[in-house]
Structure formats: structure tokens, C-alpha cells
Structure 1
Amino acid sequence: MNPLWTLLPPLAVIPFIIYFGEGRKNLREASIIIAGLVLLLLNSRIYSDVTAGIPVESGELAMLADFSLKLSAEPMGVIFGLLASFLWVVTTVYSIGYMRGHHEINQTRFYVCFALALAAVMGAAYADNLLTLFVAYEVITISTFPLVTHAGGDDARKAGRLYLGILMSTSIGFLLPAIIWVAAAAGTLDFVPGGVLADSGLSKGALAVMMALFVFGIAKAGIMPFHRWLPAAMVAPTPVSALLHAVAVVKTGVFSVLKIVTYTFGIDTVSISGAAYWLLPVAGFTVLAASIVAFTKDNLKARLAYSTISQLSYIIMAALLATVMSVSGGVLHIVMHAFGKITLFFCAGAIMVALHKTEISKMDGIGRRMPLTMGAFFIGALSIIGLPPAGGAWSKLMIAGGSLDSGTLIWIGVLMLSTLLNIAYLLPIPLRAFFKPDPDLAPGETATWQEAPYACLWAIALTATTCVVLFLFPRPLTELIGLIQWR
């Protein structure tokens, strides 16, 4: 099957979104869900072809000299494509309840930009070379900018400028020169098992500088000091936050790093040359520093934003360790973190819609009024922490195993300390919600349920349940990861 087909559902639905507009919301959102299901079906077909060993690629669109735009499917991209298409459907359902319940403006524009971003995500997932990945990366930045500035106020515009400024300046200032350097050194930008730089003749120092350009140039991965756009973007509506943290933006960032380490450098080249050695402390620092900052935040979305920065650096660390086990764990963590974090953001939005609360200090006792939402929050928190019975336990374990394989035990210590910090800033939220008295209730008064709209609850229940399912049945994912050609 041609992976180019995956671009069509999100692009084809845009005219229908505009045509139905605000006057026929039900038809508008039904068309998006249908497009999402079609996209999921197409990605499932690609999954079947890849697992059967059938080549999946598009034709080439020649650009400059021997460089072209091309799509092809390999296991890492299939996982990302399936994840994004599935969560597009779920987030759309959640958005119906949230956007209407919160009376958000410009809903049609929101859905148009969302669809355009998903088309670009498919381009990134199935990029056959660095040029295609770069184009998709930039389209994602541009198409999500109106989502970040959705509210239209001064804070939103300021956040939008920071968002666009950091992501565009780093991609043009660092990522693009790195891509040009690869083209000059290897004569190709193609993603190749074992990497195209293995026989490039570049020195260890040159490879280290190139690796730094890629890691810092892909600021969507949230590595410090180029992380500030992420918490700033939390002024956007909660479905946008879910898009940024679980579906499109940050996942494209860490996916890109994993793919470049695997198919441009090659894990053996990275390991032998020590190209990533000095970047590992940067990733480790980001893991711990972001966790500490998260602990200080009383605003729930701000705490979750810094949690995401920390969790993304788990994946960066996994890529830089450059072992089969660590990179496999990084790929798996993309999925596990996506479902855990989208559950937490969905819950944060539900709390705001139902109770108009955004500060953790004001959430005492809300578990009696929102038991389903706070129960799901607890499950999502377990996945982010990496505790059974949630799927995040497996990916953290694999990344720790990768640290053992690399012979650098210090990174296991970083993971353990980060896990303790995760417990400290996440578990008190559901505990205070269920076990502290509700200050809004009079003594002896019984709490009545005040859950968010059913569309929100359906989405929350599905993602929370998936966190548990991924713990019980991780094998389909691990088998697909096992098909990656490392060398």
C-alpha cells in the first residue's frame, strides 16, 4: 500500500469542516471522526503489510539535485502512525465535549488546523529521508501555531511568539545545517538501516557536533534549554495541550531523534564514536530539573507540562545510549507516555469544564464529585510514574536495561530518582481528591456527581483503559519493534 494515502483523510476532511462550520456542528465533527477512522484503517493496512514483509513506499517527488520527497513505512514509523491516527479519533471525541462545554470560540478553525497537523504527522511518521522529515516537521510547527494562540488574548499571542520563535529558530539554525552537513558528508539524506554516516569518514568530534545540532535543532523534543515553548503553550485549550503532548508535536520531536540516531547515524556509529557521550548529561539534567520544577507548580496543566519535558528526555536519553534495548524502550515509551499523558490532560480539562478548577491546591475532595475522572487520573499517573498495572512500567524497564547494556549505570540512577519525583508530584493529586474533605461541601452534606460531558468521559475512559491494556498485552508492540533493522 502507498503510504501517501495516509495524507488524504486529514486533508480531504478540511473542506467538509469548513462547509459545515459552526452552523452544523454535529455534521462537522462526524466528518472528522469518519476521516480519523479511515486514517486508522489505512495505518492498520500498512501495519499488516510491514509485518508481512511487503515493501510500503511512495514514488519520489524530485526537489534539488538527487534529493527528493518520499514516503516509506518501517516499524518505527508504523507505530507512530497508528498512535497518532488512533488518538486523533479519541481527541476529536473529547474535543466535542470540551469545546462545547467550555463554549470555546473559533471551533471550526481549531478542527481545520488539527487536521492539517495530523496530515503533517503522517508525513513525518513515514518520511523516507531527512528532507521529507524536515518539511513535515516545519508544517507541524506552522499548522499548530493557530492552535496555541487559539484564545486570542495577550497571553496567547505572547505564547505563540515564543512557540514559533523557539521552534523555527532552532530548526533553521541547527537542524537544517545538520541536514546539509549529512548531505555533504554522505551524499544522501535517505534513512538506511545502520545509518548513512558509518562510512562517511567524519571524525569523532565532527560526529559529536553533528549530533548536538540534531538534538538541539529538534526543539520539539523539549531538551533544555530549548524547552520554554512547551509550558508557555499551556494557555491553549486542553485538547490542544493533548495534541501537543501526546499526539503530534512533542512526539514528532522525540520520534525524529530516534529515527535519526537509528537510520542516519546508526547505533553502532553513535556507540563507537562516543558522539552522544557529552549530551547524555544534558538529557539527564532535563529529566531531573523538569521533575523538580513540576513539583513546584500548583497549576495542574503547568505541572503536567514540566512532567512532559522530563518524560521526553527519557526518550532522548534512550536514543543517546544507542543500544538496541534502549532505543527499543524509547520507541515503546512514545506510546506509553502518549496514553498516560493524554489521560492526565483529558482529566485536567474535565475538571476545568465541570468544576472550573485549575489549581491543585483547590482540588481537595473533588474525587467524590468526579470519581470517574480522578480514578482515570490515578491510572494515567501510574503509567507516567512507571508502576504496574500501567504500560509505562515496561518502557522504563527497557530504557534501564539499555543503560545496563551500555555499561553506564548512572542513568539507571537518574531514572530511579526521576520515578521518585514522579510519585511526589503526581500521586498527591488523586490522593487529596479522594481522601481530603471537600471545602465546597457543608459538614454532613453528600457530594453529587459533577462529571464532565459524556464525550469527555468516553475519551478519558478509553485512554485510561488502554494504559492498563498496554501493560497486560504489550506483545504486539514489542514484536513490531523487533522488526526494526538496526544494522
Structure 2
Amino acid sequence: MRPSPTCSEVRSVATIHSIVPACAVLVPLAAAVLILLSRRHEKIREGWTILAAAANFLIVLSLLPQVLAGDRVACTLIELLPGLDMAFRVDAFGMIFALVASGLWIVTSIYSIGYMRALREHALTRYFFSFAVAIAAALGIAFSANLVTMFIFYEILTISTYPLVAHTETEEARKAGRKYLAYLITAGVFFLFSVILTYFLTGTTDFQPGGILAGTGPVILQQILFVTFLIGFAKAAWMPLHGWLPSAMVAPAPVSALLHAVAVVKAGVFGIVRVVCYVYGIELTAEIGMGTLLAVIAGATIITGSLLALQQDNLKQRLAYSTVSQLSYILLGVALLTPMGITGAMLHVPFHAFMKITLFFCAGALIVAAGVEYVSDMKGIGRRMPVTMLMFSIGAIGICSLPPVCGIISKWYLVLGAMQAHNLAAFLVLITSSVLNILYFFPIIHTAFFEEPESGREGVREAPLSMLVPLAITAVGSVLLFLAPDVAFLRLVEVAIGELTGVLP
């Protein structure tokens, strides 16, 4: 990465007022309405989904040149109270999340059509409607100018994804849905409390590089507020607030991909990074000792999540616990409170998304084409479904932080961040995690390609092209991000770090 500019080298940031951020949120909402109106016409309904996903990505992409130039794009919707607006403001870090959510919505929509048709799933209008609203909520979170706006869209994301978790309507699915709501609605109460207390202390909830809370109250109150923020962002699935995530694996594979790669869990870790860097600020977080607390939580979650993944025979459950572990890489990176650590944290948002969505797409393809849900049933499946398992191997290699997949880049910055912070424990956690990742992924690859196929699978073939093409795109994308990380995401991180340079130790 190019050296971060010093404070004197950072030019003044221009704020450009535009309705484009609002359009990015409104397009998926409009698509949701059109999906409902087209409920009796399957192809039209699916057409609205694909058209909206493509249009939405282009709208988000149109903001990229301005953000890369170091400017912000703003849009105020409603003034709620003095100093309290419902507003959007697009900066470099928000742009990373928005590109991930809007870009992967396209491939997930195509994949969903193939998956749901192949299994003859019911309630498809509800499914695609909920998906569109969830993407709108994710973009609202990404573009939020303040905590109030983020809270509104954060809760919309919770409500809109509940029908997706409970989609199959089995008793297990209903139970998982109730658990999902119990965790995340309760967390939402803590989030709301945190927003109100922040406004009480500062008179604003706006995100600002360097934070807004310094000098606003006693240390013990700032520490309590930090903890309530962490609980509020339970979507980050840090332990022990992770239980909703493995349970939600009862949902269809495209929903698992949404939960684990595109929207829900990324909203959680995105929110925590926002709070550390743009509400508290790096200096205040260090002064009150909350970086240490966050690092301990993240380190424990990384190792425990990996150990639990090792014990799972159900493939989606193994991937779920892998996600629990991998998300805390982002928390550990920001907890290090160093430029390199935060760089690694921000980069891991898109890189993990591409790798993990590939793995869940492959898991769905195995269910559709071979009826395989368990690792122990995958003997020789790579000989019947070579493309699927090759793409799975790419995603797994990336999660293990090995080349030539992008996971190694974000892990490298995290390791550098640990060295910058002189934090040996964080360094050991990262190295141990990589070893554990190899232990729970490589046996799957070995089983699929090198063990004799089970009898009765002679007729097994690859999943439909509508599923195979999306998983190939995300797998190849994971490799391309390794070969050319500077095309978009690394440059956006550089801009974000440049904004924070004046407050980084």
C-alpha cells in the first residue's frame, strides 16, 4: 500500500450534495414493490430482481470516482431534531460495503433463481421481496451519515431477513427464526440506547473521522457506552452473541450467502468499525482501554469459532462457524488501533465476502445436484462435480490465507498491524487461526477429490448453469482481487486511512 499521507498532505474534503445515495437505496425498495405486483408472473418477477440489481450496482459505481478523489457525497432526507438528521453521506469505508452489497446482489439473484427453481421452493414472491428490502437496508447502513440513520436501516435489515431465515416454514426453521429475532431485536434495544446516550453526550450522532465522544463524559460512562454498542451490533456474531448464526443455516443456501457474505454479518462488523473509528476515535478508544477489550473478544471468537468448525460434519454448519471466526478478524484488526490493522480490517470486509459467498454457493450446488449436506457424504464428489469443487477449493484456500486468493492480503495487513501494535497475542491468534482453517477445510478437499466415490452417484452432474456461473464468478473474483487488489478496494481503504491519519497513533 502507498504510504498514508500526513495531516498536512490531506487536502480539504469536499462534500458534494446529490440524490444519488438515496437512489441507491430506493431502487431495491422500488424493485420490492414491483416484485409484489408481479407475484403471479414468475419471469417478470425475476426480471425485476435482475434489472434492479444491475441498475443498483451501476448507481453505486457512479459514486466511486468522487469517493476515490477523497470527496464525500451527501444527501439529507429529514431533520428529526436539531443536530439530528436522517441523512446519507458516502465516504470511502461506506463505499466498500456498498460495492460488496450491490455487486454481489447481482450474482446472488441469478443463483437464487436457479436454486429455488431446482428445488421447487414455495413463496418465491415473499423471498425475492425480502431479499430486495434487505439489500436496500444494507445500502442504507453503508451510506448512513449518522447513528440514527444507521439504526433505522439496521432494524429494517433484521425484520426483512426474518422471513428468509424461516423460509422453509418447518418447525426447525420457525425456531431458528424466533431465535434470530430474539437475539437481534434485543441487540437493537442496546443499539437504540447507545444512540440516545451518544446524542445526550454530544448533541449529535454524526460520523466523523477521529470521533465525536472525546471529552464528553466520565470514562466509566464512555466504557459502558462502548459495551452497549458492542451488544447492539450482535450481527457481528462475536461470542457469546453468535448463537443465532449457526441456527439460521436452516435457511436456503442463497439466504445463507446473504447472511454470511453480503448483508447481515457485514452490517454488524461494519457498525463496530464505524463506532471505533468515527464515533469514539482511535485515541479515545485506546485511552479508555476498549481496544484491549475488543481484541480479547475478537481473539477468543477467532479461536473458538475455528475449533467449533472443526467439529461440524454438516457443511453449512462448518461454514457458519468459520464465518463466526472470520468476522472477528475484522474486529481484531480495528482493535489493534494501528493503520495496518485497520487496513486489514477494512480489506477483509470485501475479501471475506467474495470467498465465503463462493463457499455457500458451492454448498447449495451440492444440495441441489447431489443431495449432499454432510462432509462425510462428499467422498469422490469432486469427480462428479469438478467445477463446483474446484471453485470450493479456491474459496477454502482463500479463507486459509494462502495464495493465489485475496484472503492472504487482508491477513498480511492484519499481521503487520499486530506487529505495529507490538501485540504478540494477536499475532499468535492470527497464525493459529490459519492453521485451524487448514485443518477444517483441507480434509473436505481431500475427501471430495481423492476418496472413492460412493455408489449410486453415477448420474450426479453439475448444478444448473444459473447456479454454476455465479459461483464461478465469485471464485474467479477472489483470485482477481489477489492479482489486482488496487483496482478499487485497496484504493478505497487508502482514502479511508487518509481520513483517519490525523488521529492514528
Classify the TM-score, shorter chain.
over 0.9
Percent identity between the aligned chains? 43
The answer for unaligned runs of 5 or more in structure 2 is 1-17
Deviation readout 1:400-450 (Å, 9 max, x if unpaired): 1111112212101001111111001111112110000012259xxxx5660
| Aligned length, in residue pairs | 480
Gaps of 5+ in 1: none
For residues 11-410 of structure 1, the aligned pairs below 5 Å read: 11-21=29-39, 23-172=40-189, 174-203=190-219, 205-410=220-425
Q: Which digits, 9 at most, give the CA deviation of each residue in 1:76-110, with x for residues without a partner?
A: 00111011001000000101110000111111110
Could you tell me how far apart the structure 2 residues matched to 1:162 and 1:64 are? 35
Selected match of 2:477 from 461, 466, 472: 466
1:271–1:321: 8 Å Cα contact kept in structure 2?
Answer: no
SS in 2 for 1:128: coil
Contact 1:185 1:202 in 2 (8 A): no
Tell me if the contact between 1:208 and 1:276 (Cα under 8 Å) persists in the aligned partners: no
Cα distance in structure 1, aligned partners of 2:238 and 2:174: 23
Separation in structure 1 between the aligned mates of residue 396 and residue 146 of structure 2, nearest angstrom: 36
- Check conservation: 1:354, 1:450, Cα contact below 8 A: yes
Correspondence list, 1:414-429, <5 A = 414-429=429-444
3-state SS in 2 of match to 1:63: strand
TM-score by length of 2: 0.93
SS at match of 1:70: strand
- 1:350-369 CA distances to partner (integer Å, 9 max, x unpaired)? 00000001011011000010
How far, CA to CA, are the matches of 1:284 and 1:386 in structure 2?
Answer: 17
C-alpha separation in 1, matches of 2:75 and 2:200: 25
The letter of the residue matching 1:266 is G
SS of residue matched to 1:462? helix
Distance 2:399 2:490 in 1: 19
The residue identity in structure 2 corresponding to 1:82 is: L
Confirm or deny that 1:479 pairs with 2:491. yes
Would the aligned equivalents of 1:194 and 1:263 in 2 still touch at CA under 8 Å? Answer: yes
Give yes or no for contact 1:13–1:32 (8 Å, CA) kept in 2.
Answer: yes
1:162 partner SS: helix
Rounded Cα–Cα distance in structure 1 between residues aligned with 2:226 and 2:291: 7
1:54, CA displacement in angstroms?
4.2
Residue 29 of structure 1: how far off its partner (Å): 1.2
Contact 2:348 2:407 in 1 (8 A): yes
2:357–2:474: 8 Å Cα contact kept in structure 1? yes
Structure 1, 64-73 or 413-422: larger mean CA deviation: 64-73
Indicate the SS of the match to 2:88. coil
Over residues 44-83 of structure 1, what are the superposed CA-to-partner deviations in whole Å (9 max), with x where a residue is unaligned? 1111121234441102412234312110100000111011
Distance 1:166 1:400, change over 3 A: same
- 1:328-380 deviation line (CA, Å, top 9, x unaligned): 21110011110110000000000000000101101100001000000000000
**In 2, Cα distance between equivalents of 1:15 and 1:74:** 29
Counterpart Cα distance in 1 of 2:200 and 2:218: 11
TM-score, with structure 1 as normaliser: 0.96
User: Per-residue deviation at 1:15?
Assistant: 2.6
**Other structure's SS at 1:71 match:** strand
Structure 1 residue matching 2:85: 3-state secondary structure: strand
Q: Is the 8 A contact 1:368 1:449 kept in 2?
A: no
Q: Following superposition, which runs of at least 4 residues in structure 1 exceed 6 angstroms of deviation?
A: none
Partners of 1:177 and 1:20 in 2: CA distance: 40
CA distance in 1, matches of 2:65, 2:50: 23
Asked if structure 2 preserves the Cα contact closer than 8 Å seen for 1:287 and 1:313, the reply is yes
Between the aligned partners of 1:206 and 1:347, the Cα distance in structure 2 is 46
- Aligned partner letter, 1:246: A
- 8 A Cα contact 2:398 2:407, kept in partner: yes
Kindly provide the amino acid, as one letter, of the partner of residue 183 in structure 1: Y
Kindly indicate whether the alpha-carbon contact (under 8 Å) linking 2:68 and 2:491 is maintained by their aligned counterparts in 1. Answer: no
Structure 1 position 178, deviation (Å)? 1.8
Residue 12 of structure 2 corresponds to: none
